[in-house]
Structure 1
Amino acid sequence: MRVSEAPAVCMVGLGYIGLPTAAVIARSGMKVLGVDISEKVVETINRGEIHIEEVDLDALVQAVVRGGMLRASTSVEPSDVFVIAVPTPFEKDGHHTPDVSYVLAATREVARVLKPGDTVILESTSPVGTTEQMRDVIAAERPDLKLPGLVQGPADIAMAYCPERVLPGKILVELIHNDRSIGGLTPECAEKAAGFYQRFVRGECITTDARSAEMTKLVENAYRDVNIAFANELSIVADAMGLDVWEVIRLANRHPRVNILQPGPGVGGHCIAVDPWFIVHGAPEQTPLIQTARGVNDGKIRHVIARASALVDAAPGEKVACLGLAFKANIDDFRESPARLVSATLARKYGSRIHVVEPHTPELPIEYQGTGASKIDLETALATCGVLIVLVDHDAFKSVPLEKRIGKRVYDTRGIWLDQPDPFAVTKDEAERLAG
């Protein structure tokens, strides 16, 4: 490949990060092969359709597939740049041990087709040292290749760790405009990877070493987890003292150097709820604050379940609507979602009294089967349910006017209905009067 030519790219993993990234790369003029183990995902993308929900992604994928710039396969093929974006879950050992087996399996597949001059990039959020593990896997699979950090002088392959920084719902915009940390196994690797990202990223591409880039990604999400934990702990304290946590935070944030986040029912998603444990795994004796924050945020889920149960018990016979399943607003991603855990727990406890409102999915997840709980739309919930439990701040929920909530027993874990009268503090007639 000449320097002026656009490289051929192989994106391994076509999930919430891999598919949008592959589409953005293809739009920039590089031909992309997307690889996924799911034949259904591959078939969907090759039709120009998508299997995940993300703003404007459907039109972009359709355009790049029809234009011949993106196609999908279940097999890795020779390319110039290989980007790995596969899951990094926990092992099933009960100790939050990072499982990098998917990353290493993808690395083995890539190793089969590597040639001198190729670049291998890891985007998956991973424990510190994972990029080096990948290098060692390739070394074992391909002893004919000179690999960075293992040889004197130039290596045959460039390897780097380059994590994304994106917000669901804004992924296509943030993939382009956010700065990127480009961590190479050598400075030469970092520069080559930066050259690739500069073809489609408008934000600054900042080069560093691979371990620093791996740690940076984990630190970003651990920082957010710790700050959310403060807000969630404050909400539990406010409940115990009979205070309005939203009012307390609003007033405290008027201090010029205070910026407390908003509490919720816990922390979800495959980043903030997971990544801090990767740091803990690497340094368990040095991370008491991070471990405590994780405990606070997981404890908030249990607190919400207890409060919600008390509200349901106080309204015998009333139907209950749990509003939302996603881990954040206006997306269809339910990974590690506290809302999902809360409503599923209530469904197992109260059965057919529980109804779930989630506009971003056609059906309930598998754990609701056999509970008697059902999925209903928002209008039906407002018309038939006497108890409303707000678990996600979807725009559709925010827009519900007060007059449709009068007389309802409401537990608002997101603070979207601050005008809602306390159902235990006033009568229905008083509530209607307060609503004007």
Structure 2
Amino acid sequence: MKISVSGLGYIGLPTATMFAHYGAHVIGLDVNQHAIDTINQGKIHIVEPGLEDIVKDVVAQGRLKASLTPEPADAFLIAVPTPFKGDDHTPDLSYIESAVKTIAPALTRGNVVILESTSPVGATEQMVEWLSAARPDLKFPSSEQDTEFDIYVAYCPERVLPGQVIRELVENDRTIGGLTPECAKKAAEVYKIFVKGDLVETNARTAEMTKLTENAFRDVNIAFANELSLICDRLNINVWELIALANRHPRVNILNPGAGVGGHCIAVDPWFIVNKTPDLARMVNTAREVNDNKPKWVVSKIEEAVAKLGDLGRKPKVALLGLAFKPDIDDLRESPAIEIAQLVGENDQVELLLVEPNVHELPKKIQKGELVQLEEALKSADVVAILVGHKQFKEQDFGSLNNVIDAVGII
């Protein structure tokens, strides 16, 4: 089978690689020439443990190649970003639309088109409208009752953890949402190439909502922990001890608070539910507000620590440890640490030191601050804020430092 994968990022590249690893011939599409060149050299442009060795192998064997232009294939997967249009959290499906228009000329009867991008409910149906407009010579399914069509269309979201993507792509169950039952069966046949978990078939709308529900559930639970951290701070209670004690209850399992919530899933997906049903998604909306406000609270604690320093005769140095959205990866998408760095950087009265062992340069959105090694930051900083639980930070002894704000419970 020949597979086309549009979008070679944190999900698309590992997915394309696993198809190739298990014997398919894969053409990976992307608009980033650097990513294409890197992959075709058998290397990777992202950080994901174990991925580069497999990419090197499948590229050398000719089973994976990256390109700007599509080719005929048996199945076409779309794994491109779905960001917001603006501050009102309206989903931006323009990347999906662009990917659809790119692959449309290569479609032939009997092909399977699968949307993997996390999307609002109804996105798969919208994708069919774009496909139909681009290829009026082909018939696409428009309802579950359709029995005559040329192209099988389905929605199949991933549910993987950065840092564990290779294993979880293979082992985790997947929800296969077909526009018709026959579409779901055809899509399941594609994933059977490498997925060892259960392939559970349903309709496209239910599959879309399943992905959003999974991440909204996690967001609500994280919001509870983050809200507890604010309450405990005001009441002078150690939130980490509190949670450890409460979790001794046999039916209580409270998560640990952090600097906020990041990543392209949990920090984004719940808003897709709120956008569709704002009058009903009250708990989901509140959880998003709690988690989105946590970085600002962390900044307020940093500002308090700086104020207590008094006049040093120079600008106080503030070190922020960690910029990724979770430990031991290089993914900065929607990272609360990035927002904290931006907000602290707005203060011209402090010198900002940034430590992120998984990146080599700062993202363009950070206008102020110097990327330094951990040792330099700890040696010269007046205030240290731990924002991400990277292994390098967990191995560090912070006992000799006076002004440490631990947002993730390392100390």
What TM-score, normalized to structure 2? 0.96
More deviation, 203-212/38-47: 38-47
User: 2:276 maps to what in 1?
Assistant: 282
User: Structure 1 CA distance, aligned partners of 2:91 and 2:278?
Assistant: 13
Q: Which runs of 4+ in 1 moved over 4 A?
A: none
Whether the 8 Å contact between 1:10 and 1:32 is mirrored in structure 2 is yes
More off after superposition, 379-388 vs 124-133: 379-388
Following the alignment from structure 2 to structure 1, what is the Cα–Cα distance between the partners of residues 248 and 186? Answer: 46
For 1:412 and 1:122, locate their aligned partners in 2 and report how far apart those are by CA, in whole Å: 40
Aligned to 1:335: 333
Aligned to 1:415: 409
The 10-residue stretch of structure 1 (121-130 or 110-119) with the greater mean CA deviation from structure 2: 110-119
Q: Write the distance in 2 (CA, Å) between the matches of 1:367 and 1:155.
A: 46
Partner of 2:382: 386
Unpaired runs of 5+ in structure 1?
A: 1-6, 418-436
Which position in structure 2 is the counterpart of 1:295?
289
| Superposition deviation, residue 315 in structure 1 | 2.1
Deviations 1:354-399 (A, max 9, x none): 2111101112222333x3x211111112222232110000010001
1:352–1:374: 8 Å Cα contact kept in structure 2? no
Q: Does 1:142 align with 2:135?
A: yes
How many Å separate the matches in 1 of 2:349 and 2:105? Answer: 52
Gaps of 5+ in 2: none
Determine which of 161, 165, 168 is the counterpart of 1:171. 165
Q: Which residue of 2 aligns with 1:125?
A: 118
Q: Does 1:34 align with 2:28?
A: yes
Q: Which residue identity does 1:343 align to in structure 2?
A: A
Match of 2:209 in 1: 215
Instruction: Tell me the SS of whatever aligns to 1:160.
Output: strand
Structure 2 residue 39 is matched with structure 1 residue 45: yes
Alignment of 1:115-264 (within 5 A): 115-149=108-142, 152-264=146-258
Alignment length (residue pairs) = 406
1:16-60 deviations in Å (ceiling 9; x for gaps)? 100011011100000000000111111111111111111011111
> Which amino acid letter does the alignment assign opposite residue 95 of structure 2?
Y
Aligned position for 2:354:
356
RMSD: 1.3
How far the C-alpha of 1:244 sits from its partner, in A, is 0.5
Matches of 1:218 and 1:87, distance apart in 2: 15
Distance 1:110 1:367 in 2: 32
Out of 298, 302, 306, the residue aligned to residue 308 of structure 1 is 302
- Alpha-carbon deviations, 1:282-317, whole Å to 9, x = none? 111111111111111111111111111111222244
TM-score normalized by structure 1?
A: 0.91
Alignment check: 8 A CA contact 1:22 1:70 kept: yes
1:325 aligns with 2:307: no
Q: Secondary structure at the match of 1:331?
A: coil
8 Å contact kept, 2:319–2:377 = yes
Contact 1:82–1:119 under 8 Å retained in 2: yes
Identity level (%): 52
**Distance of aligned partners of 1:351 and 1:83 in 2 relative to their CA distance in 1, 3 Å threshold:** farther
Q: Rg: which structure is higher?
A: 1
Offset at residue 351 of structure 1 (A): 5.8
Whether the 8 Å contact between 2:318 and 2:350 is mirrored in structure 1 is: no
Contact 2:15–2:169 (Cα < 8 Å) also in 1: yes
